[in-house]
């Protein structure tokens, strides 16, 4: 069974902070599947949910970010899984808000949760989805920045990014693997900059969504994240627009199922 782990810090104090973007995506996946009950297991909050037609285990470590590897190792051991079964979802202050990056291996890049996973698991051979949380230049106080809440003016963008992150995990789960690139910056389209009107219709017809990614039956892409920020209602996104987003994600990740196909969207 695939293990999807959102990295973050437990407790209400950290719930809406930049460092908890991974938790937000996992919560969104659970909400989409109609899952409301979590249990404590192996130093994490755990539940099972259908993601992309596949039953996966969702987890949020209770060990705090810098010790995430301990909980993840115990979860994999409990299920007989290996790092190849893992998808880690993390925040990344090196990436601009609105950018998602998928990798199937690599260094921690200064992200302490990933650092812990690599150290404890003894390998960097696992899929990770990074969500950009930075606006502007890198702050001098990185720790203070990631442990601060998103400002009110960024809430709607964050909610859209969380929805896109959940879409990306769904695509990864459907594909049973990942070797992706940057979503958003690489495609030239961030959530707040998506095409409107006729441009949106052209994009939708040019990029057909993956069957598992169709969103018309679940409403707005980021609707399942609306309760993360004190009940603020995000800007409405039409189901057709949601399908366009899903199609773009599928197009970027599709080459992992067709190694001989085009790979222009992928990093070397």
Active site residue 250: no
pLDDT of residue 133: 93
| Domain extent listing, the chain | 3-256
pLDDT exceeds 60 at position 127: yes
- Measured in residues, the chain has a length of 268
- Residue 157 in tokens: 């963008």
Rounded distance between C-alpha atoms, residue 165 and residue 244, angstroms: 15
Higher pLDDT, 256 or 16: 16
The active-site residue out of 19, 108, 210, 250 is: 19
Gyration radius (Cα) of the chain, Å: 17
CATH class of 3-256: alpha beta
**Between helices 112-121 and 68-79, what is the axis angle to 10°?**
40
DSSP sequence for 122-182: T---SEEEEEEEE-SSPPS-HHHHHTSBPPGGGHHHHHHHHHHHHHHHHHHHHHTS----E
Lowest mean pLDDT among 136-145, 202-211, 225-234: 202-211
The DSSP letter of residue 262 is -
Please tell me the predicted confidence (pLDDT) of residue 188.
Answer: 34
Do residues 29 and 51 lie in contact, with contact meaning Cβ atoms separated by under 8 Å? yes
Q: Which two three-digit tokens encode residue 139?
A: 């702050």
Whether residue 197 is predicted with pLDDT greater than 90 in this model: the reply is: no
Lowest-pLDDT range of 106-115, 117-126, 159-168: 106-115
Residue-averaged pLDDT of the chain: 73
pLDDT in tens, 40-95: 999 999 999 999 888 999 999 999 999 999 999 999 999 899 999 999 999 999 99
């Amino acid at each position: 069974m695939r293990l999807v782990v959102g990295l973050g810090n437990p407790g209400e104090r950290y719930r809406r902070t930049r460092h908890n973007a991974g938790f937000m995506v996992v919560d969104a996946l659970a909400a989409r599947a109609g899952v409301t009950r979590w249990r404590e297991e192996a130093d994490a909050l755990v539940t099972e949910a259908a993601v992309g037609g596949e039953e996966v285990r969702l987890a949020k470590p209770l060990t705090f970010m810098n010790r995430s590897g301990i909980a993840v190792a115990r979860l994999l051991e409990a299920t007989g899984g290996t790092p190849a079964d893992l998808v880690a979802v993390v925040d990344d202050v090196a990436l601009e808000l609105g950018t998602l990056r998928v990798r199937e291996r690599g260094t921690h890049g200064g992200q302490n949760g990933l650092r812990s996973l690599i150290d404890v698991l003894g390998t960097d051979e696992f899929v990770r989805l990074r969500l950009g949380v930075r606006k502007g230049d890198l702050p001098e106080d990185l720790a203070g920045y990631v442990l601060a809440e998103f400002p009110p003016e960024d809430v709607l963008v964050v909610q859209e990014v969380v929805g896109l992150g959940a879409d990306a995990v769904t695509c990864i789960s459907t594909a049973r693997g990942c070797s992706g690139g940057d979503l958003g910056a690489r495609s030239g389209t961030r959530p707040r900059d998506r095409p409107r009107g006729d441009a949106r219709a052209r994009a939708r017809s040019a990029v057909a969504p993956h069957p598992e990614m169709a969103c018309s039956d679940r409403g707005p892409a980021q609707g399942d994240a609306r309760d993360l920020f004190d009940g603020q209602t995000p800007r409405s996104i039409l189901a057709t627009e949601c399908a366009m987003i899903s199609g773009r994600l599928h197009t970027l990740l599709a080459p992992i199922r067709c190694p001989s196909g085009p790979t222009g969207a992928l990093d070397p």
